[in-house]
Structure 1
Amino acid sequence: MALIVLSVVEQRLDAVRAALGGGDVGEIALSVGVHRSTLHRWMARYLIEGVAGLSDRSHRPESCPHQVATSVEVLVAEMRRKHPRWGAKRIRMEMLRRPAEGLTVPSVRTIVRILHRQGLSQPRPRKRPRESYVRFQREGPMQMWGIDIVGGIDLVDTRTGEIRGAKIVTGVDDHSRFCVMAKVVERATSRQVCLALAEALARFGVPEEIITDNGKQFTDRFGRHGARNGEVLFDKICRNNGITHRLTQPASPNQNGKVERFHGTFRPDFLDQAEPFESLILAQAAVDAWVEHYNTDRPHQALDDQLPVTPVQRFRPVPEADRALIDVWLPPALKPTESVTDNESPPAQESFTDKESLVDAGPDSPEESWAGGPVELDRVVPASGNMLLCGKQFWLGPARSGQVVRFWASVDMIHVLIGGARVKTVRSHLTVKDLARLVAAGAVNAGPSPLPPIEDGAAVEVDRSIASGGITSLGGKTILAAEILAGRRVGIRIEPDTLQFFDLQSRELLRTRPNPLTPEQVARLRGLRPAGPPPRPSVEPIRVQRRASKDGTISICSQRVSLGRIHRYATVTIYVSETTLRSSWTTVEPESSGAPPERR
């Protein structure tokens, strides 16, 4: 026998007919699985409406006192259509900031349901859950800035119609999300980035920390000369102003998320809608207007997701009294302009294309100009421990990596100091032009020499011959002069801290070494005599020695010189001047020939 499946209406109809036929209502309700009152309700609906009354009905109430008003739903839909990127939280913020008369602001979930009913909700792809990210935020303004570079703005040449891309150097305060810089530049070079940073420092003061990515404008961490130089101009400005420069991990933009989120608003709201600009001035003016709106009129949900709070309400620059205590350090070729006090609201970003806040300092600059004498500059020891100053290497060792080294440089001597203590003194290879280039890169006028002044009678001289290997003996101590001086008779000027090796005829300074002798040992030296005038190094040519490789090549001043395979492994003497390299070498014949070496 086939099974017949009855519908719900048919089951209810059978129960109603059985009850109307005189059956027991309680037993019939029990067999159907409902309460007897439900069976009585079915009977009443059947007698009034017939079989149609037994079908299911909606449980929705006829009225809802707390239902959203139609006018509110219309307003929400209009705001979403006008601003497609606004979400439920932003729509609620705007309704709180500009409340309409007689309308109640709904909750975020209510607005989400309204957008869904109106077909205005946009499904988003599944992303990494927010809980998996480690969020951080500084407790107050001016504690950390996030700085980055963004493209997407175009400039057009009105004569040719050619369109070229430009960049914008942006910076955001970590606590308040206040945009501290938005500088339009044609090329995001290291100098342009530092100019934008210097303008922000002059306007708002110095933050405690700055976080950036590993771009070559910010650090030489992954650059070609990172292990050698270890510092770029951006790093130097941070270090001299006491700013901790933090770097994100490679390929981790989320670690600089505040400024990246700023780009997430800046790009669709401005960059994607802006037409090409005819000049940097017009582009900067448009960017400044948008940044003014972002800082002062646009609420930021990260500051308070319940009440509208703008970045300018949370941001405070460094007080003027604190800024007056320590000046902002900038390279001598740059100078700052006006600043913002803590009693004033931060102004809109101004265009500095026609009114430069940082200009080249000429001879009449109020900054201290170079006096033409010795200079001082600071460098950070790289991880390799090998530093470079105007083409000359200074080996300090990996143990000193990360330490700040001060160079005291003149055309005569170069002193290397760490923590105020002199660790090395060498003969200077610098010219006046080299010193001028160092000043342009940030060096300043030097103070007194790290060596104590020589009093009358404190310096003495002796003559000694340099043995093979470039060594000599003084007071029972073996002194390394230089291998190039082997076989020569030289004079040695003995000062309390240094030994200066010089040529006896011309008094040309050849080498400088630290003095390991005590005054008692100096007094007992053989051939001691009062010192003459201090020796001076010759300007040019400078003589150095190189050993040719198996291919007959040598390297001098970062320049490879090919001598030919016939001269491989030969010891070559190079005379280096400003415009020429002159070489001579010694060819050693086999010992069996007994012939003297031939110099060429």
Structure 2
Amino acid sequence: MTLRRVLVEWTMTEQRYRAVLEVDAGVPVTEVAERFGVSRQAVHRWIGWYREEGLDGLANRSSRPQTSPAQTPPEVEAAICELRRTHPRWGARRIEFELGRNGCPGPVPSRITIHRVLVRHGLVDVMPRRRRRQDYRRWQREVPMELWQLDIVDGIRLADGSETKIVTGVDDHSRFCVIAAVVRRATGRAVCLAFVEALRGFGVPDEVLTDNGKQFTGRFTKPRPAEVMFERICRENGIVARNTKPRTPTTTGKVERFHQTLQRELLDQIEVWPDLQTAQAAIDAFRNEYNTDRPHQSLDMAFPADRFAARPTDERLPLRLPAALAAATPEPGPVPAPAAVPVTSTVTPTSVMLSANGVDPLDLAVEFTRAVPLSGNLAVCGQQFWLGPDRAGAMVTFWADTTVVHLLTNGVRLKTVPSRLTVAHLQRLLDEGGRLAGPPPIPTGQPGDPIEVDRTVNATGLIGLAGRQHPIGYHFAGRRLTVRLDGGLLHLIDNGVLLRSLPNPLTPAEHARIRDARPAGPSPTPAPEPVRVQRRISCRGSLTVARQRIHVGMVHAGRTVTVESADHTFRVYDGDELLTEAARTTTLPIARFKVRKPEPPRRSPLPPDPRNATESHPPAAASPKSPTCARNPMA
């Protein structure tokens, strides 16, 4: 390989030397350049190199420039790489801002230069561009305090095993965080307390935008819409409460983007927090930095506090709040010193009614939260609650007294079981971080009221009620359904949707023997109308729907029938007569709803031909092996 390279170089040098000799012999430079296939300037360069350095000057040489005045200084590159390694979430735009704010060892490079430096050192992954930044259109209000976006986010797990929520709020114009409150449970009362604190601190906005959570709106409340406390506060204080369309989180994109920043820069750094007060202090510190010291790219690297302005104090009207909420959030003022409490005294909450001895509580009910272990079997004060391994890690809220225990998650009741807890157990749970419970989530029912119970359908379509097995349909095999017994009807419910109604096989006396029964909640939502299509039964007695073949019977060959898709089954009707019912095994949608050709008319048998009356041969009988073809005119 080295010998070949030397030969090539000598050949190039020899060609240049011959060109120089021809020019010295008097041949015009233009003619020499044309013969050697180069430009006149190249020939002149060769002549100059030969005169200055001799034959060695005609060898190949690098065309790389000696200096590059536009090259980024090494000190600046080192500063860029150091900022990126220290803050892995910072991009080229943020690094450019920080170099300009904190000082740069040289001239501040442009954003694209910083990006190229990061790519050259392998500190960013190059990704294909989706859309240009100019193609996006940003929507925002013109002035601050015109619109607030509110939402609720989780992600803080405490050392006691509970998981808290964060009520957040962002001003639409300035991206200023107005609410960042950590609450144990995202109830309507807790959300309203955080909202009222922001109203007293910054004033009343013109509008608020939230999702359709039950804390913010009651328009989806069953059986009829109702006004919740949040909507009442907005109405009485002149705030327009707006809600997004269902399943459209991009409508509240600014507060959702705040959640992403909060998660990446704070919550992901600590997995378990010691207590709620420590988490709230960290959230407050992050909120102050976010508002005053963190540039926002959507604001052209400005700080949210630079664009936010609260309502002037002299323009604020007194807040109109519900009585229960006003007592819990007094107006800001001097805080009186707490009264000294003797260490030996026992402080009993004023809301707990005491028995005749003045010590033991009466009708004590406690709410507390626990995390489901990996086994799915949760134990509280010696009583075990089976929730299943599929709910491992989920947070479950308990409402417990000495008679019954309700288990809920996100406000939805999972199950209700008899309580084995004593008053001492409840008092212990209250001391360990529990809270006095309000009214039970499900009121105690009266005899004859509708009841519900959860059951898993076995492989043959049976469920167990009051010691007996009852058929409900083999197509429900393996599913966990809610059975509602309401008078003479038995309803099958899945996630609040009514699947099927059957006659109630139990007597009122047997209702009391049902295990794990509970008072029924709101009436279920009827299932959507089934899809009906038309099909022609083939000569072999089958039809096809969504590429699933259903056998009806050869006796029905040639008929046009109606196929109904409902309850995860296909039901075949001939008029009002149900011919067959088959479980749906296909997941494909139904694409054809009508038969492709009209049903041919049935032909009556022809009269005998008088010309064949004298023939001695009897008419041929139909073959017993193909009766369908004899009945089917299309065969």
TM-score (norm 1): 0.50
Higher RCO (CA < 8 A, seq sep 6+): 1
